[in-house]
Amino acid sequence: MSQTDQPRSRRHPEERWAEGGRRLHSAGAAVVVALGALGLGLLLNAPGIHKSASTQPEGWKRNVALALTGPLQDVSSALLLDRPRRALKAVLGRSSDDRIDTAVAIPTPQTKPAGSGTSPPPVARTKFTPEHKLRIWIAGDSLVIVPGESIERAAAGSPVLDPLAVDGRIATGLERPDLFNWFTHLRQVMKTKRPEAVVLMFGGNDDHDFMTGLPKGVTIGPFDSPTWIAEYRRRVGGLMDTITRAGGYVVWIGLPITADPAQTRRFDAINAIVQSEAAKRPGRASYLDTYFNFAGDNGGYAEYLPNDSGQLVKMRADDGVHFERPAGDLIAREVLHRLYQRYDLTSWRRRPSTG
Amino acid sequence: MLFPTTTFAIFFMLVLPLSWLLMPRGARWRPFMIAASYVFYAAWDWHFVLLLAFSTVWNHLFAGAINRRSDPRARRGLLGVAVAGDVALLGYFKYYDFFVTSTHNAFSYAGVDLPLEVRQIVLPVGISFFTFMAISYVVDTYRGDWQPAPFGKFATYLSFFPHLVAGPIVRPGELLPQFETPRDPRYVDTSRAFYLIATGLFKKVVIANYLASSIVDPVFGAPNQHSSLEVLVGVYAYAVQIYADFSGYTDMAIGIALLLGFRFPQNFDSPYAATSIQDFWRRWHMTLSRWLRDYVYIPLGGNRKGRLVTYRNLMLTMLIGGLWHGAGWTFVAWGAIHGTALATERWWRERPGFVERPWTPLRRGWHRFVTFQVVCFAWIFFRSDSFATAREVIVRLFTAWGEASPLVTLGVVAAIAAGIGSQYLPPRIPLAIMARFSRLHVAAQAVVLALALLATNSMGPEGVAPFIYFRF
């Protein structure tokens, strides 16, 4: 091979083919294709990527992501490259996926007339029968999924309970309606599905300083500061009011003890807010404390606990936060106990036979 | 750092060109690739990096010591210590709590309260995969199949990020020789790589996630709330979900390695087109099957010591395979079903007077159907969080026909049909797609891939669910 041939052959190497007639390309071409595909892919998916950036936890990563994806979305929109995605989402019936909805739509708190220091009238113990079942909606962040499924399973044993599918949404909460707007969703569910009992569990992703959907002019301090507590309390109370004013009863499952003591302390702060808001709505809302159900003999976190027959069972998931099935079953028992207390779910059994 | 994330895309777009730039200088490429792989692994939890480093040093030292000795007893002793160390590491992190609770519960049935302490150990991601690779390295060295590699090469082999957290389980003889000479940057099988990455992404992000949220999770979460049809479709959906999830991940891993210039072994070959359970295990998680065959089944005696011992070996191998997947009795049951099926098939074929009949389309179809049902039956135990749930699923399969089945939608049926139907595609079709793609101009290739990204990202759910096999 002559000296002059070498540069030519390096620039234009002999073509090679793999099985099935595939042409092999250079590593440089691989880098160019990958970069080109990612670049164009980013532009085509810009609305979704921008939403993902905005829903990240607060911090420098989110700031950088927003600084990059904002202009990306503008360019995508200017070049009409966001249209195919919008069209595809519309075909799939998911047009709202890329929308960022931060409106905290909750009823205005009812102010008591002056001088009315008396407690609200007692709530009637409504009777349910196999023909008129108690509809139960179970919703919340990822923590509610396992207990929710346990409630569904336990409810199968009663002909008067009608649980709707568990509506558990990973990484959501009340702090970040931009990620998933529970306030809007809850109103829709109360209107369309009309559940009489609503089992909620929130807060697992809310132990941070950052909130979206704040009212105009309102700023909040760090987690557990008076301003943070006031806003979080407004949201918890607002959810409860949305349900109770639609005639529903709320069972709010408290956050559990976790493997991280600092996280447990933050969860305690959230639990305190929920507990006090539930106490303001006797007969209409109920707070279910889970702390001691899942504490070990020393009062601390325990992944394994003995069940009724003394067998050690895994109660908590490996992440030290979520529940395993036996823990869900334990919570389900307590939730159903509350529902049996609140409603008449058994007297239908005593009705005279019509034979 | 999950493959289908922006973080990984940024990481890989930095690693890919740098890897090729450093490739001609192996002495620089290896430290770079080890560092990149450790960064990838540390993204889960940096503490686990120490575990990977320990496993690397431990197995390197023992492989070297085994190779230096000529006395068979000393070699066997060193091998025993090396493998015991690997198994102890895996056992501690993966099985300690399972062992303690099982022992405690067994004794408590007899009224004895053993003072055993549960340690609440966090399972390091990928430990089962890199431990099996490390074991195969020392065993192959002991068998004389392989001369120990220098430390840098072995560390690169064990930590190479495309296979690190969920396989495929690459044997030393498959990867280490590729580290001997720089990969040729002029000839990269980019079309196969991009095809595998794009289809793997789609399988994971769209098919697996959609089936999981639409029917599998609700059915296995509360079986008694669902009709028999929903439960049946839910079980089939799980079969497709786990295939799409795991094969999607390994497709991406193989594609990413190919872009870096390295070839990984195939891990799936249309497993739901298998005509027997033995055939299934030649097609499902193939790198685990052959690992179990070469390092468990054959050392136990394989089929060389009579029929009964063969059946025992099959059963033991599958029980270990089941336990490898998870520290739980439902996984053991899953392994036992497969072990029983394998032994039964063997017994059937070896019975006196058995004559293998020729395969007709009808007979092949029937065998595929029966095999798929057995595999799906075993998946019930694999997916269920307890025997109680598995029992509920099975009972519900027979007791709630005629009830409303709102979860069985056209989308669910289409996704299942696509997942199973894709396994019956003649191999020439994907080959033709890849060939046609490879002949496109690079700009056109980028556009096609961008459109694939658009479809995957738009059709998939928001966020990325973890891969099922990361738990293992």
CATH of A134-350, one of 3.40.50.1110, 3.40.630.30, 1.10.1660.10, 3.40.50.720: 3.40.50.1110
DSSP letter, residue B181: S
CB burial string A91-107: b at 16+ within 10 A, e below: eeeeeebbeebbebebe
Cβ contact B186–A13 (<8 Å): yes
Residue of A nearest to B15 (CA): A31
Residue-wise pLDDT tens digits, A70-113? 999 999 999 999 999 999 999 888 888 888 888 888 888 766 55
Chain A to chain B Cβ contacts (< 8 Å): 189
Rounded to whole angstroms, what are the CA distances from B175 to B58, B131, B160, B163, B164? 20, 16, 10, 11, 13
Rounded to whole angstroms, what are the CA distances from A175 to A127, A171, A179, A205, A351? 36, 11, 9, 8, 47
Residue-wise pLDDT tens digits, B389-419? 999 999 999 998 888 888 899 999 999 999 9
Closest by Cβ to B189, choosing from A22, A97, A148 = A22
Rounded to whole angstroms, what are the CA distances from B79 to A179, B14, B58, B74, B151? 53, 39, 12, 9, 18
Confidence of residue B441 (pLDDT cuts 50, 70, 90): very high
Catalytic residue check, B104: no
Confidence of residue A8 (pLDDT cuts 50, 70, 90): very low
Mean pLDDT over residues B357-378, rounded?
93
- Interface check A145 vs B, CB under 8 A: yes
Mean pLDDT over residues B438-461, rounded?
92
Distance between A27 CA and the closest CA of chain B, angstroms = 5
Rounded to whole angstroms, what are the CA distances from B430 to A20, B83, B242, B425, B435? 9, 41, 21, 8, 8
Closest by Cβ to B118, choosing from A49, A145, A312 = A312
Residue of A173, A183, A178, A259 whose CA lies nearest to A223: A173
pLDDT top residue among A8 and B50 = B50
Please tell me whether residue A158 adopts helix, strand or coil conformation: coil
Please tell me whether residue B189 adopts helix, strand or coil conformation: coil
pLDDT at residue B147, as a whole number: 85
Token pair for A328: 């869900």
Residue B439 in contact with residue A23, Cβ under 8 Å? Answer: yes
Residue A1 has pLDDT above 50, yes or no: no
Distance between A30 CA and the closest CA of chain B, angstroms = 6
DSSP letter, residue B8: H
Cβ contact B97–A304 (<8 Å): yes
pLDDT at residue A117, as a whole number: 55
Residue of A nearest to B464 (CA): A170
Closest by Cβ to B224, choosing from A25, A146, A156 = A156
Rounded to whole angstroms, what are the CA distances from B3 to A51, B96, B164, B204, B205? 20, 30, 12, 10, 11
Closest by Cβ to B224, choosing from A19, A48, A153 = A153
Distance between A33 CA and the closest CA of chain B, angstroms = 5
Distance between A348 CA and the closest CA of chain B, angstroms = 22
Residue of B nearest to A159 (CA): B225
Segment among A31-35, B73-77, B146-150, B432-436 with least mean pLDDT: B146-150
Distance between A124 CA and the closest CA of chain B, angstroms = 29
Cis ω on the peptide bond leading into residue A147 (within 30° of 0)?
no
Closest by Cβ to B9, choosing from A13, A38, A89 = A38
CA angle centred on A278, ends A273 and A281, rounded to 5° = 140
Residue A10 has pLDDT above 80, yes or no: no
Residue of A223, A339, A343, A233 whose CA lies nearest to A288: A339
Residue of B nearest to A23 (CA): B438
* Number of residues that this document lists for chain B: 472
| Dihedral (Cα; B294, B295, B299, B301), 10-degree rounding | -50
Closest by Cβ to A312, choosing from B101, B439, B462 = B101
Domain ranges within chain A, ordered by starting residue: 24-98, 134-350
Token pair for A354: 């019509």
Residue of A158, A188, A175 whose CA lies nearest to A167: A188
- Chain B (88-107) residues lying within 8 Å, Cβ to Cβ, of chain A: 97, 100-101, 104-105
| Unique residue bearing structure tokens 């503490």 | B47
Residue B462 has pLDDT above 70, yes or no: no
Residue B376 has pLDDT above 80, yes or no: yes
Mean pLDDT over residues B40-56, rounded?
91
Q: For chain A, what percent of residues have pLDDT higher than 90?
A: 52
CA angle centred on A184, ends A144 and A203, rounded to 5° = 35
Cβ contact B449–A325 (<8 Å): no
- Chain A (96-115) residues lying within 8 Å, Cβ to Cβ, of chain B: 97
Rounded to whole angstroms, what are the CA distances from A167 to A148, A154, B12, B55, B341? 8, 17, 36, 43, 39
Rounded to whole angstroms, what are the CA distances from B258 to A31, B191, B251, B264, B408? 12, 10, 10, 8, 39
Tell me how far apart the alpha carbons of residues B217 and A291 are, in angstroms, rounded to a whole number. Answer: 27
The sign of the torsion formed by the CA atoms of B126, A259, A256, B41 equals negative
Q: ipTM of this predicted complex?
A: 0.83
- Chain B (185-204) residues lying within 8 Å, Cβ to Cβ, of chain A: 185-194
Residue-wise pLDDT tens digits, A165-224? 899 988 889 999 988 899 999 999 999 999 999 999 999 999 988 898 898 888 899 999
Residue of B27, B286, B290, B12 whose CA lies nearest to B156: B27
Contacts of A18 in chain B (CB under 8 A): 189, 192
Measured over all CA atoms, what is the biggest interatomic distance in chain B, rounded to whole angstroms? Answer: 74
- Interface check A155 vs B, CB under 8 A: yes
Helices (H) and strands (E) in chain A, counts: 10, 10
Cβ contact B449–A33 (<8 Å): yes
Confidence of residue B353 (pLDDT cuts 50, 70, 90): confident
Residue A294 has pLDDT above 70, yes or no: yes
Contacts of B18 (CB under 8 A, 6+ apart): B32
Tell me how far apart the alpha carbons of residues B228 and B221 are, in angstroms, rounded to a whole number. Answer: 15
Cβ contact B188–A25 (<8 Å): yes
Residue from B60, B163, B285, B325 carrying the catalytic annotation: B325
Mean pLDDT over residues A109-134, rounded?
73
Token pair for B460: 């998939």
Confidence of residue A119 (pLDDT cuts 50, 70, 90): low
Residue-wise pLDDT tens digits, B274-302? 999 999 999 999 999 999 999 999 999 98
pLDDT at residue B279, as a whole number: 96
Residue B2 has pLDDT above 90, yes or no: no
Alpha helices in B91-211 (DSSP H): 96-109, 127-143, 151-159, 161-164, 172-180, 190-201, 209-211
To which H or E segment does residue B263 belong?
A: none
Confidence of residue A4 (pLDDT cuts 50, 70, 90): very low
Q: For chain B, what percent of residues have pLDDT higher than 90?
A: 67
Please tell me whether residue B441 adopts helix, strand or coil conformation: coil
Tell me how far apart the alpha carbons of residues B396 and B219 are, in angstroms, rounded to a whole number. Answer: 10
Contacts of A29 in chain B (CB under 8 A): 188, 190, 442
pLDDT at residue B237, as a whole number: 97
Cβ contact B186–A23 (<8 Å): no
- Chain A (39-78) residues lying within 8 Å, Cβ to Cβ, of chain B: 39-41, 44-45, 48-49, 51-52
Residue-wise pLDDT tens digits, B191-244? 999 999 999 999 999 999 999 988 999 999 889 888 999 999 999 999 999 999
Contacts of A23 in chain B (CB under 8 A): 191, 435, 438-439
Tell me how far apart the alpha carbons of residues B260 and B189 are, in angstroms, rounded to a whole number. Answer: 10
Distance between A311 CA and the closest CA of chain B, angstroms = 5
- Interface check A261 vs B, CB under 8 A: no
Residue-wise pLDDT tens digits, B131-172? 999 999 999 999 988 888 999 999 999 999 999 888 799 999
Residue B164 in contact with residue B41, Cβ under 8 Å? Answer: yes
Residue A175 in contact with residue A206, Cβ under 8 Å? Answer: yes
Other Cβ atoms closer than 10 A to B168: 25
Please tell me whether residue A126 adopts helix, strand or coil conformation: coil
